[in-house]
Amino acid sequence: MNLRPLFEPQSIAVIGVSLHNDMHPSNLIYYKNLYRYPVEAYPVNPKAGILKGERAFSSVRDLPHPVDLAVISARSDVVPAIMEECIEAGIKGAAIISGGFAEVGNSALQDRIVSIAREADFPFVGPNCLGIYSPAYFDSFFIAPERINVPERGNVAVVSQSGGLLVDQMIGFSVEGIGLSLAVSIGNKAFVREIELFDYLEENEETKVICFYVEGFQEDEGREFLKRAKVCKKPVIVLKAGKSPSGQKAVSSHTASLAGDYRVFSSLMSQNGIVEAMDQTELLYFCESLSAHQTSIKGNVSIVTLSGGHGALATDLCMQYGLTVPALSEGEQDFIKKRLRPAITNIASCSNPVDLTGSSTDDDFVEAARVLSEMEQIECILMLLLPYAPGVTSDLGARLSIVSRQSGKPMIAYVPRLEKYRMLIEGFEINGVPVAHSIEGAVHMAQALKKYRTFS
């Protein structure tokens, strides 16, 4: 199944625009793509007419040439006929935004569009979804641009059965500085499902991490998903809904999916190296961590800080989330101390956590990081930075990230979220070191590296 026309279209037809209501979802989609994206966009309405000076076509058969993708936002009962017209007109795929299918008990209508698509090898996402946000190409979300912050282009692809949760994640990405390669709202996932998306996303060069929000699967589909995720060459992150009986009922009413036995599914994800996020916050941390470091660790971390309290709290959290903070030998501690400035040699504690004290400077952090990055038993370094300390400058993020890049050892930073620390944070992020704005977030980022395992 060729999915490139869905995610990399050069031209689209937006079917269902209104000639009288510019706030209609189809109109929002059409205007957004007409004015803001490089894709060639055509409006389609049975009555034809003019939309802000642009010709609206009565049918896709009347378009100047076959387009790559149809975005369908029309009444559910007319969708089968629209699909048949799209196929006759040589369109290569569709995003069906319309609701009113299996999620409301109208399974026969959904089965009909699946039958049409299967016979013609016509891929579509949906129905009952927001569709596709492909940063370099187009956006089928019926959300006005001023109502959402979209992330920068990056390397994380997000596939979600819920359009609302997908938008939440995109807003979170924009706040945290996580880049997005593709966002797909699959809704009822009647035809193109998670399994079909693996092939495209695994081959897509811009995508380094694949993230799923899953409500449920049809019979035997969950097993196939796990088998495919296990052999994926890229990290796979999953947030699963339907953990409780009430949640399972909500899943069924939302997208007509079968939630299944969550405990069994969760256990199998862990066994197969799939990174399970327990909530939206973890999902955000895990995406940010693995977008920077597509690597796996056994769980041994070193903590570097200038505050003993921060170090102690981070150690407790590491223990809570299955990470290890191994003690350093006296020889190793002495070696670190010899690299520090004489002014702090007698007051710094280097046992792990490495507490450089409030008298430390950028140079002390850099030297400690260099020594720790050379220790074989240390797999990841957590840098807990307090930028209000007098010896810490805005250059430290860039300097520490160079140490991480040179050694190849994952580094994760904690920096409080304040605009005045923006230069320090950007020094890390521009150079590939993820930054959390809570200590727990930094530990979750390290946890993601432990949860991710490769099978080769």
426 and 310 in a common domain: yes
Query: 286-337, pLDDT tens digit by residue?
Result: 999 999 999 999 999 999 999 999 999 999 999 999 999 999 999 999 999 9
Q: What is the mean pLDDT of residues 107-127?
A: 98
- CA pair distance 221, 186, nearest whole angstrom: 15
Amino acid letter, 399: R
Beta strands in 73-199 (DSSP E): 94-96, 124-125, 131-134, 138-139, 153-160, 180-185
Neighbours of 170 (CB within 10 A): 22
At residue 155, φ and ψ (nearest 5 deg) are: -120, 10
CATH number of the CATH domain containing 325: 3.40.50.261
Q: What is the pLDDT of residue 245?
A: 60
- CA pair distance 385, 372, nearest whole angstrom: 16
Query: 203-232, pLDDT tens digit by residue?
Result: 999 999 999 999 989 888 999 999 999 999
Query: 85-110, pLDDT tens digit by residue?
Result: 999 999 999 999 999 999 999 999 99
CA dihedral 284, 287, 288, 293 (to 10 degrees): 160
Report yes or no on 382 lying in a domain.
yes
CATH number of the CATH domain containing 59: 3.40.50.720
Report yes or no on 418 lying in a domain.
yes
Which of 237, 266, 292 finishes a domain?
292
- CA pair distance 301, 19, nearest whole angstrom: 60
Q: What is the pLDDT of residue 97?
A: 97
Q: What is the pLDDT of residue 254?
A: 45
Report yes or no on 133 lying in a domain.
no
Counting the structural domains of the chain, the total is 3
Per DSSP, 155 falls in state E
In the predicted model, is pLDDT for residue 22 greater than 70? yes
- CA pair distance 68, 62, nearest whole angstrom: 15
For 26: left if phi > 0, alpha if psi spans -120 to 50, otherwise beta; the answer is alpha
Report yes or no on 142 lying in a domain.
no
Q: What is the mean pLDDT of residues 438-443?
A: 98
Q: Which domain holds residue 306?
A: 295-451
108 and 6 in a common domain: yes
Residue 373, helix vs strand vs coil: helix
Q: How many CA atoms lie within 13 A of 166 on its CB side?
A: 27
442 and 312 in a common domain: yes
156 and 75 in a common domain: no
In the predicted model, is pLDDT for residue 418 greater than 70? yes
Report yes or no on 132 lying in a domain.
no
**Average pLDDT value for the chain:** 94
Instruction: Name the band, by pLDDT with cuts 50, 70 and 90, for residue 247.
Output: very low
Q: What is the pLDDT of residue 453?
A: 85
Report yes or no on 141 lying in a domain.
no
Q: What is the mean pLDDT of residues 400-405?
A: 97
Per DSSP, 129 falls in state S
307 and 167 in a common domain: no
Which residues, in sequence order, are CB contacts of 131 under 8 Å at separation 6+? 71, 95, 96, 97, 125, 140, 141, 184, 185
Q: Which two tokens stand for residue 179?
A: 């880049």
Residue ranges in 15-106 assigned as alpha helix (H): 25-36, 79-88
In the predicted model, is pLDDT for residue 352 greater than 90? yes
In the predicted model, is pLDDT for residue 248 greater than 90? no
Report yes or no on 116 lying in a domain.
yes
Cis peptide before 353 (omega within 30 of 0): yes
